[in-house]
Structure 1
């Protein structure tokens, strides 16, 4: 960042000829200048120790001009002194000058002692506090934060990442400095910094919450932005997995899962690096669109990715529905029975599905020779509804049982067993509806 303001009282600073920092003290060679440097060094330290920061700036100012490479301590102390002076004055114009001087001291330290990476984070801290509400200087403050990452990769004080994004937000609001895409790129980079810090054991909950709040405040992401801006970019470069992952995350977060773009990105991600969730959601979308032929192999893949019995039960139940729709009733029942075995919470739905399969099979399975035998399918359905705990379904199935008269006519008795033919193949106990 260029130095735009000199220290308080400076008209010009002779930076030419400043030497590299040396160990210890580099007193001026001229005897008179050395004596004065020692005097002013002692004076500013005494003022500083007694918290007389405004007074301390005067001898310190002389050292910056006349002995700039004296010792790095004059810059380290100079930050505290000018910051203290800014706090001591009630004059707003002077306060701003002292604050500008703090930033300039950092620049002078850089010019004389080439170790910027050691203190750049401190400069970022002061820049944020001084310039975050200053339309003309917020960009400079942001550039300092960029410099921290450039030099050090991340922040030691991880909460500064929240200040970083706040500067992005303010610079955008004050100066229209970024497009939505650039803001989104900034957001993702800062999230990556937080993820890295979290992996290193740091608590990032506070800055992460601030980032999310600022994203909401900026109205940065919505379904229209995902569909009209991010979607076309992915269409132009479908191998861009970073963009695909972003769209997937935002679509879930902002409830934009019904769009064509979400379906596209879901297919890309699930094909590249499938998880149980991506395969399950992808299959669900196919099912919603009644594209059952596409849904089945994706569900079968999800079954291999499932991490527990509950997840497996969910997949088996969805497979049961697909097989049933396709007319594969036996396969549908088998899948539903697996779901019921794996997850007791799924048993009600699974046995209800089986009961419905039986109820729907009357026309397919009846032979038209014996009403009792044909209607026995409803007894099998009743038993399945009973296992599901579905009293309404049980009543519906029972209403279709054979009557006492029909059993008598065919010389059969309640309590007799009978094996239902067709694909059902279950043995039931004969009963009547009346």
Structure 2
């Protein structure tokens, strides 16, 4: 704060001249004046103003307090402790906005004077920040005093009470809205620091859901985090420091929130996290991204990794289902069927999809399995496909498969009859009951 402003503020509580008068030896923390008349007056006013304070007559209390602050500023630290309550109470009781502002500013000045005399800032700096926020949160020119006070709390004490975290971040939000006082990355750094405080409090058993909810609302209201911000601001930082797990997790979280999961920045963050602290989800999502990019071999490696990290049958079913699609895309139809069947075994919810998928594998194997010696045998794979579709309840697939069954004439020509069984051979290797399309 500029000296001219500070000089003006000193006048707010009565041009505190701090006249240096003789003090008696301190007794029990009280420094009464050595002059008898001054001592008598100081004792009288000290008793009077504290009585007014006890009865919450703050406007009356401030007169005696003012005299003590000007004439015996080192009388006792209680002057500054009580003084805050008195001027805060006077500000609340005042009806004139100008007077209210004088009393509010006086609260701030008392904290500064107390600091000069007693050097115990850690005891009260959080209270100062709280008052600054409540006094100045709606004012463009003074909200910065509140943010500075909160920052000072963390500087002095190393942390901030989790109950005050929303107030600090709201002050930051207002300072940004009023004055554009921060760059987006600075806002994000403050947000992450305060979120860290909430996480610590939560780890200690405190319910911080309300505080976190307010924080999330404010960061969204700032409208600074979007896909461009993630890619152009956070992305380069992460690539310059690829071992920074905290930053990678931040990018991952914001990418999911902003639906930027198709970006290279998201994939890079995912790789950092999965390489350093893999979980089922990180390995699976990473595999899915490779599959989306048609990098099936890489996807398969990640799914195998995810399978080792799975802890439930539902998770294992998901991975076997993913692996079925990888195998199919790599032309490994037998392995694709095995994975699909495994998924169905682990999760009944997968059963219909699995058998419909297997029906599709059979249907697409016409060229692979055509022997050219028996049309009935070559077409028997479509009967196997029909059976798979039937288990899936896939009427469309059943209809398509049946249209490619052998005809009655083809069965007769080759000496087969409806109802006989035949093995499809090829990789399918299913024994089916012959039927015709007509």
- Asked if these proteins are the same fold (TM beyond 0.5), I'd say yes
Match of 1:355 in 2: 359
Match of 1:225 in 2: 229
Over 3 Å counting, the alpha-carbon distance change for 1:192 and 1:9 in structure 2 is: closer
1:100 aligned to which of 105, 109, 119: 105
| 1-structure distance, mates of 2:244, 2:24 | 49
| 2-structure distance, mates of 1:271, 1:335 | 26
| Cα contact 2:24–2:34 (8 A) shared by 1 | no
1:127 paired with 2:121, answer no
Secondary structure of residue in 2 paired with 1:133: coil
If asked which structure has higher relative contact order (CA below 8 Å, sep 6+), I would say 1
Give 1:133-282 correspondences, 5 Å limit: 133-156=138-161, 158-282=162-286
| 2-structure distance, mates of 1:89, 1:238 | 57
> Cα deviation per residue 1:166-186 (whole Å; 9 max; x = unaligned)?
111222222322111111111
| 2-structure distance, mates of 1:9, 1:302 | 68
| 2-structure distance, mates of 1:114, 1:372 | 98
Shift of 1:24: 4.5
Between stretches 228-237 and 14-23, larger displacement belongs to: 14-23
Match of 2:409 in 1: 405
Match of 1:306 in 2: 310
| TM-score (normalizing by structure 2) | 0.93
Over 3 Å counting, the alpha-carbon distance change for 1:400 and 1:230 in structure 2 is: same
Over 3 Å counting, the alpha-carbon distance change for 1:407 and 1:275 in structure 2 is: same
Match of 2:83 in 1: 78
Shift of 1:45: 1.6
| 2-structure distance, mates of 1:146, 1:22 | 37
| Cα contact 1:319–1:332 (8 A) shared by 2 | yes
Between stretches 103-112 and 389-398, larger displacement belongs to: 103-112
1:26 paired with 2:25, answer no
| 2-structure distance, mates of 1:330, 1:178 | 59
Aligned residues: 433
| 1-structure distance, mates of 2:325, 2:51 | 84
1:290 aligned to which of 281, 291, 294: 294
Over 3 Å counting, the alpha-carbon distance change for 1:223 and 1:16 in structure 2 is: farther
- Segments of 5+ residues of structure 1 without an aligned counterpart are none
Over 3 Å counting, the alpha-carbon distance change for 1:22 and 1:266 in structure 2 is: farther
| Cα contact 1:142–1:164 (8 A) shared by 2 | yes
| Cα contact 2:25–2:31 (8 A) shared by 1 | no
| Cα contact 2:159–2:197 (8 A) shared by 1 | yes
| 2-structure distance, mates of 1:191, 1:233 | 20
> Cα deviation per residue 1:377-423 (whole Å; 9 max; x = unaligned)?
11111111112111111111122222233223322222222222111
- Segments of 5+ residues of structure 2 without an aligned counterpart are none
